[in-house]
Chain A
Amino acid sequence: DEILCSLAGPPSPPGQDPHGWRVPVDCVRANELCAAEPSCSSRYRTLRQCLAGRDRNTMLANKECQAALEVLQESPLYDCRCKRGMKKELQCLQIYWSIHLGLTEGGEFYEASPYEPVTSRLSDIFRLASIFSGMDPTTNSKSNHCLDAAKACNLNDNCKRLRSGYISTCNKEISATEHCSRRKCHKALRQFFDRVPSEYTYRLLFCSCKDQACAERRRQTIVPSCSYEDKEKPNCLDLRNTCRTDHLCRSRLADFHTNCQAPSQSMTSCPGDNYQACLGSYTGLIGFDMTPNYVDASTTSITISPWCSCRGSGNMEEECEKFLRDFTENPCLRNAIQAFGNGTDVNISPKNPLHPVTLLPKMEKSPALPDDINDSNTMYDMSIITTCTSVQEHGPKLNKSKEQSLCYSETQLTTDIMPDQKTFTDQKADGSRHRVRGMLPLAPILLLMLEL
């Protein structure tokens, strides 16, 4: 194991351009960097004109457009990403897609997420810990976790205000014919999920249920009569096309596919075993055309779907079914929801679900990954405490990436306290190792408390 302490900032990975071109910055910043350079800014202007109202093939037929695209692949704009809920998120996404629509084939099944990978998990651990510390493990089977979640929200002023905000908006009758304003309802829902910490929102959305009243309450969370159901069920591929015309919806869908797509090697879990990232990108879809929800109030099986079906798919039936199955029969999503509901994400499990994802999952025709996978999150990582992230090996494709731990202050502490947590598993037949450095998630908190 190679252990890298990152107290003095992340180490420069080998092969990084000294000019910092490959350091992913957010696209708004990348745009500023590009604007400061005459050659970059003129090429970018050209490319935007090329893309305006033209499909990719027409654009690439033009020599000038092609040249502009080639030059821009060397610029910071090429690797730039956005952050959910950032200032100027829409502007950032517009910049991202202005480049990436030219880079991708178009009409791809999965698109790479324009959002930066979720690596900072410390705050999440705190959140989860605070949720489950308030949960008595001996509560009887009659307890309704969804009702408890509503209580927790009602007792928090911010959560209560924004919850009432979307409920009253989504429940407001406009006229005899118009049952509610879907547009306003979606906007209020987005505000709720953007501005309320996930310790409240996840609890409402992903509470575990043992009876139907609880499951129905869970299904009702997003006021589905207004935000979800419609008079007609569109075809899922048509709905996807509608979503892709909107930069925000397109980005959230790509993010969902990136974080909730079970890796082909294991059909049971999430990319990097990062349940948090999957739940986050699922939640990010609420309030858009692709709003997902529980299809019924079943307590035994969880079925999620957007409001669409595969009827009328024509010869695209197979693709439609595949698209829909990523919601209805997605083991990663289901496991993530169940793990959250059971509180198992904070307990030690052999799969170590708190493993952060710093790598994009393998995707069809995804744009090349940045060479360095170490510092993708440093721009935003404002926390005083250095986060401990580990990057696991992802097969031979990225075999140069050693497992690394960016540690809290003394890595030894973690391993000394929990020597058993260091597990080593031989997973795959092809001999590539899959290492899991287990960390009792609460231990860092204890360590921090000692330090404070």
Chain B
Amino acid sequence: SRRKRARARHKPCALKELEVSVSELGLGYESDETVLFRYCSGTCEAAVRSYDLSLKSMRSKRRIKKEKVRARPCCRPLAYDDDVSFLDTYNRYYTVNELSAKECGCV
């Protein structure tokens, strides 16, 4: 199972999806409606550039000390899905935009 876990951790950055209720989103809406929540998950090892290596080196040599820097590419949405509308428990309609990822990438 250790090997399985390790393999799972090494999955490259990709779009994943989850069926969640609107209330679970934690945006403050009360609704039992289910929406599809797509998110980005995975590692970005293949996307490491000379930039990341150099930045890491600068940090370890203490040339960069105080600033907050990220020496590793990050799996994030490159584009967001269309709007999502739903009816809440008080029979009001709401539309939420940029709720769900459409495309992922290492940036």
Taking the closest CB of chain B, its distance from the CB of A264, in whole angstroms, is 40
Closest to A221 in B: B87
CB contacts (< 8 Å) of A217 on chain B: these are: 87, 91
User: Within 8 Å of chain A (Cβ to Cβ): is B1?
Assistant: no
CB contacts (< 8 Å) of A170 on chain B: these are: 93
Binary flags per residue of B91-103, CB closer than 8 Å to A gives 1, else 0: 1011100000000
**Which residues A167-196 have CB closer than 8 A to chain B?**
167-168, 170-171
**Which residues B19-56 have CB closer than 8 A to chain A?**
19, 32-36
CB pair A155 B95 closer than 8 Å:
no
Bound-complex Cα distance A290 to B42 (A): 52
Closest to B82 in A: A161
Bound-complex Cα distance A172 to B94 (A): 10
Question: Which of A163, A167, A217, A223 neighbours the largest number of chain B CB atoms within 10 Å of its CB?
Answer: A167
Q: What's the A-B contact tally at a CB cutoff of 8 Å?
A: 49
**Which residues B48-107 have CB closer than 8 A to chain A?**
82-87, 89, 91, 93-95
Q: Which of A144, A163, A213 contacts B85 (CB 8 A)?
A: A163
Chain B interface residue count, Cβ-Cβ cutoff 8 angstroms = 17
Bound-complex Cα distance A163 to B91 (A): 16
Bin chain A's interface residue count.
Answer: 10 to 19
Taking the closest CB of chain A, its distance from the CB of B59, in whole angstroms, is 43
Taking the closest CB of chain B, its distance from the CB of A22, in whole angstroms, is 47
CB pair A150 B87 closer than 8 Å:
yes
Taking the closest CB of chain B, its distance from the CB of A122, in whole angstroms, is 30
Closest to A147 in B: B32
Question: Which of B19, B93, B95 neighbours the largest number of chain A CB atoms within 10 Å of its CB?
Answer: B93
CB pair A168 B33 closer than 8 Å:
no
Chain B residues engaging chain A, CB cutoff 8 angstroms: 19, 32-36, 82-87, 89, 91, 93-95
Question: Top 10 A-B pairs ranked by shortest CB distance?
Answer: A167-B85, A164-B85, A151-B34, A168-B95, A164-B83, A171-B93, A161-B82, A154-B35, A167-B93, A150-B33
Chain A residues engaging chain B, CB cutoff 8 angstroms: 144, 147, 150-151, 154-155, 160-161, 163-164, 167-168, 170-171, 213, 216-217, 220, 223
